[in-house]
Structure 1
Amino acid sequence: MRLLFVIGIFIMSFSVKSQSVNGVVTDANGKPLNDVMIYNFISKVHGHSDISGKFVLENTKPEDSLRVTKQGYVTKNTTISNAEMLSIILDEKLFLLEEVTITNSLKYLNTISKIDFEIQPISNSQDLMRKVPGLFIGQHAGGGKAEQIFLRGFDCDHGTDINVTVDGMPVNMVSHAHGQGYADLHFVIPETVDKIDFDKGSYFADKGDFTTAGYVGFNTKEVLTNNAVSFEAGQFDTFRTVALFNLLHTENQSAYFAGEYMMTDGYFDAPQNFNRINLFAKYTAKVNNGDKLAVSLSHFTSQWDASGQIPDRAVNDGTISHFGAIDPNEGGNTGRTNFNLQYDSKIDDHSHIKNNAFLSKYDFELYSNFTFFLNDPVNGDQIKQKENRTIVGFQSEYNNKLSDKWLFKLGAGLRNDNNKDVELSHTVNRKTVLDYLSLGNVNQTNLFTYISFDFTSGKWLINSGLRLDYFKFGYEDQLAPTYTNQTQTKAIVSPKLNFLYTENNTLQYFLKLGKGFHSNDTRVVVAQKGQEILPETYGGDLGINWKPFPRMIVNSAIWYLYLAQEFVYVGDEAVVEPSGQTERKGFDFGFRYQLTNWLFWNTDYTYTHARSMDEPKGNDYLPLAPVHTLMNGISVKDLYGFSGSLRTRFLGDRPANEDNSVVAKGYCITDFSVNYQIKKISIGLNIDNIFDTKWKETQFLTETRLANETEPVEEIHFTAGTPFNARLILKYSW
C-alpha cells in the first residue's frame, strides 16, 4: 500500500512537471509574430513562436507568470489563465538599436536589413536593391530595363551572379533575350514589401542558381496597417500614384490590393515617354491547426523610349549634350503576370513544411543600338531582342527541430522555363527586320534537392549542407534549314559548411565556406556541346559581428571567391565569348549607430581585388569590376512628426579593359528626403543628386562608328546619371 502511494505521488509530480501551455502571439493588426521569446518566471524555461506565431511552453501550468519579448515591440508580462490557447498581443514601440541583440543565426546580415528597413525610406524598386550593403545599381535604358548590378567585384550585368526572389518566386530569367540571369524587379510595389532577406556568398543550401556573389529575397506584407493613397509629382514631367486598400481583415484572414502608376519624360534631351502600371493583390489565411496560406496575384506592364549609351567624343566635340542621344529610337516594352501560392503546414510542435508554387507569364521587347553605324553604314546597327516565356515551379522544405541541439532541413523543387521565339534581329526604326541573327525556342528545366543540419552546442552553431541541381537544356533553332532540337543535361553538387561562435549577445565570429554556381545560357550550352556549362564557384567568409556599445553595431568580413572557366552568351551580338578562371578577394565593413532616439548613422564600405587567373600580370584586370564602394547615411525618424535622410553613395574608378589602360570614372552622389506627418496626412520631398553632380551612371568600353566617321573608334560610352531631381509627395492614410 505504501509503495502504491509513493508511485501515485511520483505520477502526480511527473504530470505536473510535464504540463505545457499552447499560445499564439500577434501584433495589434493580427499579424502572427515569429521568433518571439516567451519566458516562464516560475519554471525558468523559455520557448519561441513559429512562423504562425504559435508556441508551446513546456513545464508550465495555470497561474504561472510569463514575460513575452521581441525586438521592436513592447515587452509584456502576463499570467496564464485556464484558457486552452493563450492569446498574446504585442504593441510596436520606438525603434532602439540597444535592444538589437546578436543571435546565433547563420544569416546575420538580416539584422542589418531590419535596421535599415526601419529607419530609411523606400520610394522605388531601386531603393529596395540598395538596401544590400555594397550593392550598386545602374540604369541605362530609360527606366524600363532591369538595372545593371555590381556586387563583390562582379559586374553582374542584370543578374548573372546574384539570386533575386520575391515571396520565394524567382526573378532572374534564365536564357533571357538580353542576357543570362536578367532580373527585372520593377513589378514590385515598394510599399508592399515587409522585409528583405539577403546575404553574400554561396553558403546556403536552399539557394541555387546565380547565388555566387549573393542573394536577395523580398517578402511582401501579409496585412496592411492602414489604407493609403499617395500622389507624387516632380521635375521632368514625373508623376506617380499608389493606392493601398485593405479588403479583408479578421483574426484569421486578411486581403489587400495595391496599385501603382508612374510616368516620366526623364531628364534626357529626347523624352523617355516612360510609363508603368503595377497591380498586386494578396490573401492570407491562418488555419486553426497552425497552417498558413498566402495567395498573391500581380500584373505589371511598362513601355519606354531610351537615349542609350553615348560616346565621349560626341559629347566632347559638342555634337550632343551630356544628356543627348545618337539613336533616339531605342526603348521597348515588357510585362509580367504572376500567380504565387505559399502554404506553411504545421506537422507537430517541432516540425513544419514550407511550400511555394508559382506561375509567371512574361514578355519582353527591347530595341538598342550599341555600335551605331559600325556594321551597317547605311541603316545603322539597331537590334531587337524579344521573347515570350512561361515559368512554372515549386519548392518545398521540411523543417524538424530534432532536439535542442539539432535542426534538420530537407528541400526539393522544380523550375521550368518555356521561352518561345527568342529573337535577336537587325532592325530599322523598330519596324523593319533587316536580318535575323538568332531565332529559336528555349526550354530549360532545373530539378533540385538539398539537405542541411544545424548543430548547436553552447556558444557554437555548425551548419552543414549539401545541394544537388540537375539541368536539362533544350534549344530549337528556327533559322536552321531543318528541324533541330538540341538538348544537353548536366548536374552539379554544392556542399556548404558554416561555423558561428557567439561569445554573448554583443559579439560573434563566423567562418562560412561553400560551393556555388551559375548556369549559362541554353544557346551556350548547345553550342559548346555541354562543356563547362555550370561553372562552379568556391568561396569563404571570415568575419565578426560586434556591438561595442549598446547603440552601435559593427559587421566586418574578409572573403575570397574563385570562379571556374565559363562561357558567356552575349545577347547583344548573338555570339559566345569564353573567359578563363577568375578570383576575387576583398573586405566588407558595416557600421550602424543610433546617436539619439531619433538620429541614426549608417556606413558600408567594400574593397575588392578582382583578377583573371589565366592572363599575365598587368593584363589580368576584370573590366568594370568595382574596387571601392562606400554608402553613408544620416537618418531622422519620428522627430516631432519629421522623418528623413541624407544618403551618399560612392563608386570608385574601376578598370574598363583588361590592362587598365582605360578607366571607368567613379562618382559620388548624395540624395535627400524629408517627410512630415500630420495625423492622417503626410507631406514629403525627395531629391536625387542634391548637389547636381554631373556623372556617368553606367559605362562601357565599346567600338563604334558615327554616321560621319570613316573609321571606328573604341572609347568609353556612357549613360548619364540623374541630375538634381526633386519630387513632392502627398499621402493620406486611414
Structure 2
Amino acid sequence: MSSAGSFSDAVCSFHNKILPKQMKKSLIMGVVYLLINTSLFAQSGSISGTIFNQETGETMVGAHVVLAENNIAKATNELGKFQFKNLEAGNYTLTVSFIGFTKISQPVTVKNGTISSLNISLKPDVLSIQDVEVTQDLGQNVSTISEVDIQLRPIETSQDVLEIVPGLFIAQHAGGGKAEQIFLRGFDIDHGTDISLSVDGMPVNMVSHAHGQGYSDLHFVIPETIERVDFDKGPYYTDHGNLNTAGYADFYTKKRLANNYLKLEGGQFGTFRTVGMFDLLKGKTVEDPSLYLATEFFRTDGYFDSPQYFTRLNTLLKYHQKVSSNQTLELSASTFTSSWDASGQIPIRAVESGMITHFGAIDDTEGGQTSRTNLNAKLITETNDGGLVENQFYFSNYEFELVSNFTFYLEDPVNGDQITQTENRQIYGSKNSYWNDWSLFGLNASTEFGAGFRYDQVNDIRLSHTLERREVLDDLARGDVRETNIFAYAEEQLSLSKKLSLTAGLRFDYFTFDYVDALTPNYERQVEDKGIVSPKLQLSYQATENVNLYVKSGIGFHSNDTRVVVAQNGQEILPKAYGIDIGTFWKPTRNLLINLAAWRLDLDQEFVYVGDAGIVEAGGKTKRQGIDLSLRYQLTKWLYLNADANYTDPKSVDEAEGEDYIPLAPTFTSVGGLNFQTENGFSGSLRYRYLGDRAANEDNSVIAEGYTVVDAVLNYQVGAFDFGVYIQNLLNEEWNEAQFDTESRLQNEAVPVSEIHFTPGTPFQARFSIGMRF
C-alpha cells in the first residue's frame, strides 16, 4: 500500500463511518436553528457593530463589548465584529473596552424587526487595569490577562513567546537551536507532549518525531510580528484536540504593519540580531490589501567554553485583503533555518574534579540543524445572519538533525555513545469551522461546529550511532511514518440567566498510524486505527460585578508515537487526561485582578517511545493536583506588578508511597516582577523566575536543584527611534537550566556512575538594541 493510499483509505473510512451521522445531526440542528431564529427575529431587534483602532483603522479582535441593561458581554470576532440578537425594543448602553485603549460608552436604540449597526473607534491610551471588567465569558477573562502581559512584558526572544503562559517554564539544553524543554502544571512536558501549540492556526507540535512526541520548535516565530496570544490550561477546549492536556497556546501574527521597522541588537558572547519589517503595498486604508515582509537574522557564540556558532534566519511574507463585502483572505509563507554546535549535558563529577569548567563539555561535537517552510491560507466569510465561517489549509516542509551524547562511553567504550536523530517531514492540514449567535427558548446562545484533518508524511525517521558527527557506525532505528488525524467537534454556549452560563462540547478524533520499519529483512507495513471521544463542560457564574466563579471539566488526550502504536498493536495508544478546574476571576479593587484555581488532572496508563534509545517504555498512570494563582496590580498610573505562583503535587498512581515521584515534575514555580510605562517614552521591567527543588528520580533520592534568576529590560522611545537594554541574569547567579538523573561513563572510568547531568544557565549577559520606524 502506498502512503497516498493509506491517507485516502483513512479519509474514506472516516467518511463512511462518521460523516453521514454528523451530517444528519447538523442538518436537523440547522433547520431547528433557522425556524427558531426566524420566528424570534420578527418580534425583536438586534445590535451589530465593528470595533476599530482609531489610530490605525484596523479592526480589533477580542475587544470587550457589554450590553449594560442585560448584563450580556461579547468579544469581537476575527473580523472585529460583535452582535446582540433578539433584543426587546428600547434604549440600551454599550460599553466597549480593550486593554491599552480608552473605554467608551455609547447609547443605541433598538426597534423591532431592525438591526442597529454601529462602527466604533477606540483611541489608544496608557494601559489601565481600572478598565478591565470581569465577565461570564471565561475566554475573555483569560485573554484579558494575555493582553496585559503582552503590553507590559517585553518579548525579546522566541523563548519569551512561550513564557507568556502563566506558570510555564522552559529550559534549553542543546546549544540554543533545539526546541526548549517545557514545564507546566506538574508536567515535564519534554518538548511538547502535553501542550498544544500553534501559530496562525498551523500546528507547531510534531507528532511521532525523531526526538520526542509533540516536539515543538517555536524558533520560526519572529517575536516582533506577534499580535496576540490565546492560551489556557487544562483539557477543556473543544476546538483543541491532540496534545491538549496540560494546556494550549495559540499565537497570531500581525495582519498588517503600521510602519516599516528596522532593529539592530548586539551583546556579549558574539551575539548579534537584526529584524526588518517592511510594508510592501503601503495601503492607505484597511480596505486596501496589505502585504508585508518580516525578516530576522540571529547569531551567537554563546557563553560555553566551546563556541556554539548558532545562527538562525527567519522570513515571513503575509498578505491580507478584504476580497468582498463579507470575505477576508489571509495568505502567508514563511521559512526558517538554523544550525548550531552544542556542549550538551555534563556530569557534576566532571566539574567538581576540575576535568571541565561549569561551562565545559565532554563531547563538543554535539549540535544540529533544522529548517521549516510553511504555506498558510485562510478565508473568513461572514454570513448574512452574522455568522462566521473559517476555512484554512496549511502545508509545512520540515527538516531535522540533532546530534547528542548523554552517556558518553557507557555503551561503546571505544567510539563513544553519540547518537544522531534525523527526519524529513511534510504536513498537510485543513481546519474549518462555523460559528453563530442565536436564541434557544429566549436564552442567548452561540454555536460552533468544526472539522478538519492533519496528515504527517515522515520520511527516513532515523536514530543512528555516530562518531564525531560525521560517521554513521550503525542504525538503531529507521523507517517511514504516515500519521493521519481527522476530527470533528461541536460546542454550545448557553446563557442560562444573567449570571449563569454553560458551555458544553463534544469532540471526535480518528487516527490512522502507519509505520514501515526499514531495518527488518522483509518489507512490512504496520497499520493501526483508533478513535476517541472527548466531552467538555464548563459552568460560569457571575456572582457580582467583579467576581466570576467557574468550573471547568473535560477529557483530553495525547496520541502516542506511531512506533509505540504498532508495537502495542493499537492497545493503550491514546491515553486520556481527565481534568477539573474550580476557580475564580476576581477584581477586589479597581487596580487589582486575580485569577485563582484549584485543579486536578489524571492521566491514563501510557507507553512512551524513547527517541534517544529507540525503545518503548511503560509510563504508568499519574495524577496531578494543585493551585494556580495569578495577579495583576497597577500600583500607579505607570507602575505595574504581576506575579504567578503555581503549586503542584505530581504522583505516579500505581507505585508504592515514597517511590511514586514523577522525575523532574515541578512542584512549586513562580514568576513575576515590576513593569513600567511612562508617558515620556520610558518602559521596562525587572522580573524574576523561581523554580523550586524537585525530584530527579522516582524515590526522590536525587534532587534537581531549583533556582532564582532575575532579568531586566529598559526601553526608551523618542520620535521614530527605540533604544533598549536587555540583561539576563542580572545578579550573575550560577544556576543549572536543564537537569537529568543519568547513568554515564567517562572515558577514564571503569564503572558507570548515575548522578545529575546538567546544562548551565546563562551568566550575566547584556544586549543593546536600536530600532527605527519609517
Once the two structures are TM-superposed, the CA of residue 41 in structure 1 deviates from its matched residue by 11
**Structure 1 residue ranges without an equivalent (≥5):** 1-13
1:542-561 matches, within 5 Å, as 542-561=582-601
Show the counterpart of 1:506. Answer: 546
Structure 2: which amino acid aligns with 1:633?
G
Structure 1 stretch 685-694 or stretch 215-224: which is displaced more? Answer: 215-224
**Change over 3 Å in CA distance of 1:304–1:80 after alignment to 2:** same
Amino acid at match of 2:461: V
Which residue number corresponds to residue 159 of structure 1? 192
Matches within 5 A, 1:595-606: 595-606=635-646
Q: Give the distance between the partners of 2:129 and 2:231, measured in 1 at CA.
A: 20
Query: 5 Å matches for 1:54-133?
Result: 54=81, 69-72=96-99, 73-75=101-103, 87-107=119-139, 108-133=141-166
Change (3 A) 1:370 1:21: closer
- Which amino acid in the other structure matches residue 70 of structure 1? S
Q: State the match for 1:31 in structure 2.
A: 58
Letter paired with 2:52: T
Distance 2:613 2:488 in 1: 35
Q: Alignment RMSD, CA only?
A: 2.6
Are 1:267 and 2:294 matched, yes or no? no
Q: 1:704-733: CA deviations, max 9, x gaps?
A: 000101111000000000000000011111
CA distance change for structure 1 residues 287 and 710 in 2, over 3 Å: closer, same or farther?
same
Please give the alpha-carbon distance, in whole angstroms, between the structure 1 residues aligned to 2:108 and 2:529.
Answer: 59
Paired residue for 2:752, among 682, 700, 712? 712
**For 1:374-426, what per-residue CA distance to the aligned partner results, in whole angstroms no more than 9, with x for missing partners?**
11111111111000000000111111212252111111110000000001000
Matches within 5 A, 1:671-686: 671-686=711-726
Which of residues 510, 530, 535 in structure 2 aligns to 1:495?
535
Q: How does 1:618-633 map to 2 (within 5 A)?
A: 618-633=658-673
Equivalences for residues 322-471 of structure 1 within 5 A: 322-403=358-439, 405-457=444-496, 458-471=498-511
What SS class does the counterpart of residue 349 from structure 2 fall into? helix
Q: Does the aligned pair in 2 maintain the 1:67–1:75 contact within 8 Å?
A: no
2:602 and 2:575 map into 1 onto residues whose CA distance is 10
Residue number among 10, 28, 53 corresponding to 2:80 in the alignment: 53
Structure 2 Cα separation of the partners of residues 278 and 34 of structure 1: 26
**Match of 1:215?**
248
User: Of residues 279, 282, 286 in structure 2, which corresponds to 1:251?
Assistant: 286
* 8 A contact 1:56–1:349 mirrored in 2: no
Which AA in structure 2 matches 1:167?
Answer: D
Distance 1:116 1:464, change over 3 A: same
What's the secondary structure of 1:731's corresponding residue? strand
Of the three residues 739, 747, 750, the one matched with 1:699 is 739
Q: Is the 8 A contact 1:159 1:180 kept in 2?
A: yes
Q: Secondary structure at the match of 1:707?
A: coil
1:332 shift after superposition: 0.6
Distance across 2 between alignment mates of 1:181 and 1:37: 34
Asked if residue 569 in structure 1 is aligned to residue 615 in structure 2, the reply is: no
Q: Which runs of 5+ in 2 are unaligned?
A: 1-39, 110-114
- Cα offset, 1:448, TM superposition: 0.7
Task: Give the equivalent residue in structure 2 for 1:643.
Answer: 683
Contact 2:51 2:80 survives alignment (8 Å): yes
- Identify if the C-alpha distance between structure 1 residues 78 and 612 changes in structure 2 by more than 3 Å, giving closer, same or farther: closer
Residue 47 to residue 717, structure 1, CA distance change in 2 (3 Å): closer
Task: Give the 3-state SS of the residue equivalent to 1:348 in structure 2.
Answer: coil
Quickly say closer, same or farther: Cα 1:694–1:19, change in 2 above 3 A. closer
Task: Give the SS at the match of 1:112.
Answer: helix
Once the 2 structures are TM-superposed, how far is the Cα of residue 290 of structure 1 from its aligned partner?
Answer: 2.5
Distance 1:188 1:579, change over 3 A: same
Q: C-alpha displacement at 1:89, in angstroms?
A: 3.1
Aligned residue type for 1:30? G
Q: Shift in Å at residue 189 of structure 1?
A: 0.3
Using a 3 Å threshold, how does the CA distance of structure 1 residues 532 and 709 change in structure 2: closer, same or farther?
A: same
Q: Distance in 2 between matches of 1:382 and 1:101?
A: 55
Alignment-mate amino acid for residue 736 of structure 2: K
Supply the distance in 2 between the matched residues of 1:38 and 1:517 (Cα, whole angstroms): 34
In 2, Cα distance between the equivalents of 1:244 and 1:167?
Answer: 18
The yes-or-no answer on 1:239 pairing with 2:278 is no
In structure 2, relative to structure 1, the CA distance for the partners of 1:695 and 1:39 (3 Å cut) is closer
Q: TM-score, normalised by structure 2?
A: 0.89
In the alignment, is the contact (CA less than 8 A) between 2:73 and 2:137 conserved in 1? no
SS of the residue 2:357 aligns to: coil
| Bigger mean CA offset, 601-610 vs 31-40 | 31-40
> Structure 1: how far apart are the matches of 2:648 and 2:526?
39
8 Å CA contact 1:52–1:291 kept in 2: the answer is no
* Counterparts in 2 of 1:511 and 1:382: CA distance versus 1, 3 Å: same
Report the Cα distance in structure 2 between the residues aligned to 1:556 and 1:396, rounded to whole angstroms. 34
C-alpha separation between the residues in 2 aligned to 1:42 and 1:708? 79
Change (3 A) 1:594 1:489: same
> What's the TM-score once normalised by structure 1's chain length?
0.94
- Out of 304, 311, 317, which is 2:353 matched to? 317
Name which of 579, 600, 603 aligns with 1:539.
579
Q: Distance in 1 between matches of 2:608 and 2:70?
A: 61
Partner deviation per Cα, 1:52-91 (whole Å, 9 max, x = no partner): 234567899xxx997662223234577999x997544332
Deviations 1:128-148 (A, max 9, x none): 111111100000011100000
Range that drifts further, 109-118 or 230-239: 109-118
Q: Structure 1 residues 454-463 or 179-188, which shifts more?
A: 454-463
Q: Which amino acid counterpart does residue 397 of structure 2 have in structure 1?
A: K
1:113 is paired with a residue whose SS is helix
* 1:433 partner amino acid: V
Mapped to 2, the partners of 1:536 and 1:484 lie a distance apart of: 30
Confirm whether residue 478 of structure 1 aligns to residue 518 of structure 2: yes
- Tell me the residue number matched to 1:192: 225
How far apart are 1:23 and its partner, in Å? 4.9
User: Residue 618 of structure 1: CA displacement?
Assistant: 0.5
* Gap change, CA 1:585 and 1:77, over 3 Å in 2: closer
Q: Is the 8 A contact 2:93 2:105 kept in 1?
A: yes
Q: Take 1:57 and 1:461, find their aligned partners in 2: how far apart are those partners?
A: 16
Q: Is this contact kept in 2: 1:308–1:325, CA < 8 A?
A: yes
Q: State whether residues 137 and 150 of structure 1, in contact with CA within 8 Å, keep that contact through their aligned partners in structure 2.
A: yes
Q: Which residue of 2 aligns with 1:519?
A: 559
| 8 Å Cα contact 1:38/1:66 also seen in 2 | no
One-letter identity of the residue aligned with 2:256: V
